[in-house]
Structure 1
Amino acid sequence: MSLVSCSPAPVENPLDDTGELIALSGGNAGPQAACHTCHGLNGGGDGVLVPRIAGMDSGYLVRQLGFFADGQRSHPQMSWLAGRLDTGERLAVSAYYAAMEMPTDLESKTALDASCDAPSGQRIYHNGAPERALASCASCHGTNGEGVGAGNPSLLGQSAAYHEEQLRRWRNGKRYGDPLNVMHEAASKVREDELSPLAEYIAYGPEPPRRRGSQEGCL
């Protein structure tokens, strides 16, 4: 009597299809590479230097994993992790986080104090600095930071600390890979005293009540 007919049919694992397995267990890279240990179960990051990835464009996330793997972005853990994921795994985990809703409680995680230099950040974000040939951030990232097209990521839900860190990396050539070096050129034209106000404006917006420690009369 043949036992072939008694063999159970292969069961598809939905976690593999959505990337949830990689996000929660690290997949082939092992548990030390589980995305949720840094980015949180909701993909919201830590509110400081670990970014929000929930709801980001999947193509953008795939590209960033590729950049970490080939050295265009450098971070000890992310570079190690990305280098151990194959193309299919990168696509799967990126699709998983892209399908998530952006957490609604991210504002409460911000920790930087407000600055009375906030108007300079608002001006640069919306108007740029034409005298320096600096285009506005809004022209690529949208009036509200929602991103314009798949190639320009949403800036919403990231902390001021994260924005400032990334602006410095673009400026110093430690981060690259954007088409035509647009971000490097733009960040290079932002003055040192404008970096923090710009990062704070992107993170918190113009309203003093949304800024921790805002001083009366700043805006």
Structure 2
Amino acid sequence: MTGFPAIFRLLGGLAVCGAAGCTDPAIVEDPFDQTGELIAFSGGEAGALAACSTCHGVQGEGDGNLAPRIAGLDQGYALRQLEHFASGARKHPQMYRIATTLDGAAREKVTAYYAAMPYDPAPNGAAPGAAPDQCAGATIYHDGVPSQGVASCASCHGADGLGNAGNPPLAGQSAPYLAHQLDAWASGERYGDARAAMTAISRALHPTDRQAVAAYAARLADAGGDPALPETCLPERRPRR
């Protein structure tokens, strides 16, 4: 069963042991009790329907749509998101129920479990149905829109989109997820970031520009972190980097 999470191997062993009437306490009494892995696959106190793996995948890879990649996320960032879900700063009915059910210790363990995994920045999910303006997406990501007070995404999330200084990675998340988050910041459905920077940036961008920069950021792992732009991009619409 190489390649399967340890929890699956354990549960398989427990099933065999139960059928055979085993009573070895070393096997029966400690089935990954209170571990982040158990919470990830069982939902912990929130119940089986709240298991992280149900929406975010067996390896935390996300669903390529609106459930993000959580494997490899910085633990501090992930903990803040659970706090925001619980407080209502980030609105999501299912995540609210999960976050308010898990206590502080459980949140620590499950976020540590995913933080220990490697982060995979490879593009996740299908490209958007309607092709966004790749020229605009690249320019906003690397240069921002100074005339509108919009800082570049790269200044916080890195030119390669892998994040830095507590800011999450964008490369490897799906374009629909990133666009949805920008819309949530703009509408007030999500708030709580330092200095309300993401709220201001998202509100300053036109919805089509949000889609464009989300699509570009999601592809940053292509071509070594430098996705090719169409030849039709005019020089003034190419990043200055």
TM-score interval for Structure 1 and Structure 2 normalised by the shorter chain:
0.7 to 0.9
Cα offset for 1:49?
0.5
Q: Counterparts of 1:145 and 1:53 in 2: how far apart (Å)?
A: 15
Q: Counterparts of 1:207 and 1:28 in 2: how far apart (Å)?
A: 40
TM-score (structure 2 length as normaliser): 0.77
Aligned with 1:107: secondary structure? Answer: coil
Q: Which residue of 1 aligns with 2:40?
A: 23
CA RMSD in angstroms, aligned pairs only: 2.7
Change (3 A) 1:206 1:131: farther
Q: Which residue of 1 aligns with 2:218?
A: 203
Q: Counterparts of 2:218 and 2:53 in 1: how far apart (Å)?
A: 22
Matched, 1:193 2:211: no
TM-score (structure 1 length as normaliser): 0.84
Q: Which residue of 2 aligns with 1:5?
A: none
Task: Give the gaps of 5 or more residues in structure 2.
Answer: 1-24, 234-241
Aligned with 2:169: secondary structure? Answer: coil
Cα offset for 1:125?
0.4
Q: 138, 145, 148: which one pairs with 1:132?
A: 148
Preserved CA contact (<8 Å) 1:24 1:35: yes
Q: Which residue of 1 aligns with 2:53?
A: 36
Preserved CA contact (<8 Å) 2:124 2:218: no
Cα offset for 1:113?
3.9
Change (3 A) 1:43 1:218: farther
Task: Give the gaps of 5 or more residues in structure 1.
Answer: 1-7
Preserved CA contact (<8 Å) 2:124 2:172: no
Preserved CA contact (<8 Å) 1:118 1:206: no
Cα offset for 1:29?
1.4
Q: Which residue of 1 aligns with 2:13?
A: none
Preserved CA contact (<8 Å) 1:122 1:206: no
Aligned length: 206
Percent sequence identity over aligned pairs: 45
In structure 2, what residue type is equivalent to 1:191? H
Q: Counterparts of 2:232 and 2:137 in 1: how far apart (Å)?
A: 13
Matched, 1:147 2:163: yes
